[in-house]
């Protein structure tokens, strides 16, 4: 017997339409969902999954940042999904027997958290004028990831955010929310038909919802190269216009590569530069990296809206040193998950506490010296079957 119920709490016509369009758009959707191919004047649809009011508040600050500055009306559709794990098969069977057919799962599971999440969303909507559609997912833990992945297709989201399975307590220490949530995250990373962001929320020492005057948040996006890093950088297009966020791109380049300025006018012919081989990555990838950096330069860096820093590193340990140096300077790091066998991160593996975050994300999430929040981004994998996973 399948005990799964998807209760749509707030269902706007847009969602309804999306269900109808689903079948027609399915093939097309795979190409369209990556953020790299999405422009800021196209609709951005994000799904934030939360299992409590605490992570809801954290993800609301992300939503608020992505939505841009107050008053700016952009095609932006944030959805929030409350995950309610059913405890045990037998228990829920009992429940159905006792109450008969019209049992209200909602009344028995996660009600308190739902109320608190509702409160957070209500006060958020008042402050920000951003309407968030709510979805509630009540299911057993074993099929949670599958339901989430299916929902991302039905709701046609570009990226799904999941909370990291550990959270920071008021005293600054870290608490584990449970290995089953970690396993769920891993499964979503493995199967999601869209991009995935794992959010390590350190709201006490790190990133906080930018509001009011004078509370500008320093955000850094680290760029080594590869599809995941490009997706992370592409997500930051939606941060760039927010006056309460100061975004800096930090590009890591191999120390022994020839000096080449990656930031230049796109109109400048640079076929000579493209012949320079970067170890560990092939020409196509390198070109894609460069053209994205160029786009950022032309749109944001050249007009001073976004900062740009280049770091030359020799190897993994050297990169670690740099990461420690910059760790204190930003409230949020946005990083791509994997980058194949990139020589700049290859010997950082000592960390290996949460390999699902990739080497750099794992360092920031696990290091006790880092106070910043972290958002680890994985690009949707469907068109990258041969991409090396670390
Ligand atoms: C961080 O989250 C905790 C738990 O939800 C909350 O009590 C606290 O007010 C938050 N702190 C900040 C600075 O937002
Ligand atoms: C949860 O709700 C129950 C009643 O529905 C209430 O007795 C209890 O105090 C609530 N717990 C919290 C933490 O709000
Ligand atoms: C949350 O709020 C919506 C409307 O704001 C309401 O329809 C829904 O019943 C609320 N859910 C809970 C669990 O209170
Ligand atoms: C998810 O979707 C697939 C294909 O549409 C379906 O076979 C599967 O049963 C769905 N899973 C759940 C848990 O609904
Ligand atoms: C930034 O804001 C301006 C005006 O508010 C708008 O024209 C522009 O499209 C926005 N850019 C992005 C990337 O959102
Ligand atoms: C980029 O192009 C603009 C206008 O086309 C020009 O003023 C500027 O000097 C160029 N910069 C570089 C570095 O070539
Ligand atoms: C280079 O990368 C592209 C895209 O990632 C891939 O299709 C191609 O097979 C790769 N070529 C080699 C020689 O690895
Ligand atoms: C992290 O924050 C704590 C408390 O605010 C501070 O004492 C510590 O020096 C910070 N560490 C780093 C590496 O910034």
Position 387 in a domain = no
Closest protein CA for atom 5 of ligand 7: 285
Domain count, the chain: 2
Asked whether 9 lines ligand 3 (CB < 6 A), one says: yes
Position 310 in a domain = yes
Asked whether 289 lines ligand 7 (CB < 6 A), one says: no
Centroid of ligand 6 to alpha carbon of 265 (angstroms): 6
Closest protein CA for atom 10 of ligand 6: 265
Is it the case that residue 133 has pLDDT exceeding 80? yes
pLDDT digits (tens, 9 = 90+) for 108-123: 566 788 899 999 999 9
Residue 37: partners with Cβ closer than 8 Å, 6 or more residues away = 31
Please check whether residues 91 and 134 belong to one and the same domain. Answer: yes
Please check whether residues 160 and 244 belong to one and the same domain. Answer: no
Position 206 in a domain = no
**pLDDT at res. 349:** 65
Please check whether residues 286 and 158 belong to one and the same domain. Answer: no
Please check whether residues 293 and 217 belong to one and the same domain. Answer: yes
CATH at 151: 3.40.50.620
Please give the DSSP secondary-structure letter assigned to residue 309. E
pLDDT digits (tens, 9 = 90+) for 207-239: 988 776 667 899 999 999 999 999 999 999 999
pLDDT digits (tens, 9 = 90+) for 237-260: 999 888 889 999 999 999 877 665
Ligand nearest to the CA of 388: 7
pLDDT digits (tens, 9 = 90+) for 373-386: 999 999 988 643 33
Is it the case that residue 70 has pLDDT exceeding 50? no
Position 16 in a domain = no
Asked whether 112 lines ligand 2 (CB < 6 A), one says: yes
Pocket lining for ligand 6, CB < 6 angstroms: 264-265, 268
pTM, entire model: 0.80
Please check whether residues 128 and 222 belong to one and the same domain. Answer: no
Pocket lining for ligand 4, CB < 6 angstroms: 143, 146-147, 150
User: Which range of residues forms the domain containing residue 99?
Assistant: 35-200
Centroid of ligand 7 to alpha carbon of 83 (angstroms): 38
**pLDDT at res. 41:** 85
Please check whether residues 167 and 123 belong to one and the same domain. Answer: yes
* Residue 139 three-state SS: strand
**Is residue 27 within 8 Å of residue 126, measured between CB atoms?**
no
* CA 114 from centre of chain: 23
* CA 214 from centre of chain: 26
Please check whether residues 45 and 136 belong to one and the same domain. Answer: yes
């Amino acid at each position: 017997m399948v005990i799964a119920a998807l209760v749509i709490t707030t269902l706007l016509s847009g969602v309804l339409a999306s269900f109808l369009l689903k079948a027609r758009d399915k093939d097309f959707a795979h190409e369209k969902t990556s953020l790299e191919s999405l422009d800021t004047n196209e609709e951005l649809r994000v799904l934030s999954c939360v299992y409590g009011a605490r992570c809801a508040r954290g993800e609301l600050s992300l939503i608020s940042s992505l939505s841009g500055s107050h008053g700016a009306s952009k095609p932006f559709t944030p959805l929030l999904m409350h995950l309610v794990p059913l405890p045990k098969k037998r228990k829920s069977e009992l429940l159905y027997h006792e109450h008969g057919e019209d049992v209200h799962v909602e009344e028995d599971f996660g009600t308190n958290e739902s109320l608190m999440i509702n409160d957070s969303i209500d006060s958020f909507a008042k402050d920000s004028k951003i309407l968030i559609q709510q979805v509630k997912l009540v299911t057993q833990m074993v099929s949670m990831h599958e339901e989430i992945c299916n929902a991302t297709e039905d709701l046609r989201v570009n990226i799904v955010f999941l909370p990291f399975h550990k959270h920071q307590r008021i005293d600054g220490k870290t608490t584990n929310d449970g290995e089953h949530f970690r396993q769920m995250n891993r499964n979503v990373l493995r199967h999601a038909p869209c991009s995935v962001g794992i959010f390590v929320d350190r709201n006490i020492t790190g990133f906080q919802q930018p509001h009011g005057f004078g509370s500008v948040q320093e955000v850094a996006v680290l760029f080594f190269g590869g599809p995941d890093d490009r997706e992370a950088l592409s997500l930051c297009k939606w941060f760039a216009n927010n006056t309460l966020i100061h975004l800096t791109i930090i590009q890591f380049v191999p120390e022994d590569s020839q000096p080449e300025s990656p930031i230049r006018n796109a109109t400048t012919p640079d076929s000579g530069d493209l012949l320079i081989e970067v170890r560990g990555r092939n020409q196509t990838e390198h070109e894609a990296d460069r053209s994205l950096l160029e786009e950022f330069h032309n749109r944001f860096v050249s007009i001073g809206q976004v900062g740009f820093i280049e770091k030359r590193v020799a190897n993994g340990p050297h990169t670690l040193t740099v990461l420690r140096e910059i760790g204190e300077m930003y409230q949020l790091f946005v990083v791509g998950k994997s980058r194949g066998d990139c020589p700049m991160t290859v010997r950082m593996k000592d960390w290996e506490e949460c390999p699902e975050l990739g080497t750099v994300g794992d360092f920031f999430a696990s290091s006790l010296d880092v106070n910043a929040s972290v958002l680890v981004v994985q690009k949707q994998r469907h068109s990258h079957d041969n991409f090396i996973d670390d």
